[in-house]
Structures are given as C-alpha cells and as structure tokens.
Amino acid sequence: MTVKVHLWSGLRTLTGGQEVVEVEASTIGEMLRELVRLHPALQAPIEAGVSVSVDGRIMASDLTAPVSAEDEIYLMQRLRGG
C-alpha cells in the first residue's frame, strides 16, 4: 500500500525539495528501503540511524512494525538518551 512519509525539513535537499514522500510499504523496514530506492541520497541519514513515529508512537529501531495508508508517519533523527 502507499504510505506518506513526512521527512524533517533538513532532508529536503536530498529529495529534490519534497518534505512528504510517498512509498509502497507495509512495514517500517520496507518503507526505509523504498525511500532509499526512490531517493538514493537518503541512504546516508537512514544508515546513520533514524527513528520513525507512527501515529505519534516513536519507533526507535523496529523494522517489522506495520505501517498503513491511514498512519501519520514521520521520519525522525535517531533518539539518544542519558
């Protein structure tokens, strides 16, 4: 299914100015792979580590979590704590 992924605005330069990217995916892992396939420049930030917010729930690392067309999805910088 098609999901809409909101990027943080610092990534716009890597996606030709797009801040919202649509990809075909049913899990976070698929979504990240598709993002890199469509926008190869996103490989660096995704490899460096990202978190994903799905309907306000922040996924720090789970690639198997499902995503769907109705979800609000935000790519976020990887979170670090103390």
Partner 1 sequence: MALDDQKSVFKFVGTRPDRPDGLDKVTGRAKFGADVSAAGMLHGAILRSPHAHARIVKIDASKAQAHPDVKAVVTRADFSDKVPFKPGLAGEFWNVLENVMAGDKALYDGHAVAAVAATSALAARDALKLIEVDYEVLPHVTDVDKAMAADAPVIREGAADYSVPEGLHPNVVRYHESGHGDVEAGFGEADLVVEDSFTTEATHQGYIEPHACLAQLGADGKGELWCTTQGHWIAQKTCAALLGIETAQLRVTASEIGGGFGGKTTVFIEPVALALSRKANRPVKIVMSRSEVFRATGPTSSASMDVKIGMKKDGSITAAQGIFRLQGGAFPGAPGDMTAMCAFAPYNLTNVRQVGYDVMANRPKQAAYRAPGAPMGAFAVESVLDELCNQLGLDPVEVRLKNAAHDGSKASYGPTYDQIGLVKTLEEAKAHPHYAAPLKPGQGRGISCGFWFNHGGETSVSLALSEDGSAQLMVGTPDIGGSRASMALMAAEVLGIPYENIRVTVADTATLGYNDVSHGSRVTYASGLATIKAARHAVERLCARAAAKWGIPEDAVKWEDGCAVPSGPNAGDFDPLPLADITANMGATGGPISGHFEATPEGAGVSFGTHIVDAEVDPETGKTAITRYTVIQDAGKAIHPAYVEGQYQGGAAQGIGWALNEEYIYGEDGRLQNSIFLDYRIPVASDLPMIDTVIVEVPNPGHPFGVRGVGETGIVPPLAAIANAVSNAAGVRMRDLPMSPPRILAALKARDG
38 binds partner 1 (CB under 8 A): no
CA separation for the pair 5, 47 (Å, rounded): 17
45 three-state secondary structure: helix
CB of 58 to partner 1, least distance (A): 7
Phi–psi pair at 21, nearest 5 degrees: -120, 135
Measured between its terminal Cα atoms, the distance across the chain in Å is 37
23: its two tokens: 């990809």
- In the range 41-70, which residues lie near partner 1 by CB under 8 A? 41, 44-45, 47-49, 53, 55-62, 65
Q: How far is the CB of 15 from partner 1 (least distance, A)?
A: 13
Interface contacts to partner 1, rule CB under 8 A: 6, 8-10, 13-14, 41, 44-45, 47-49, 53, 55-62, 65, 72, 74, 76-77, 79-82
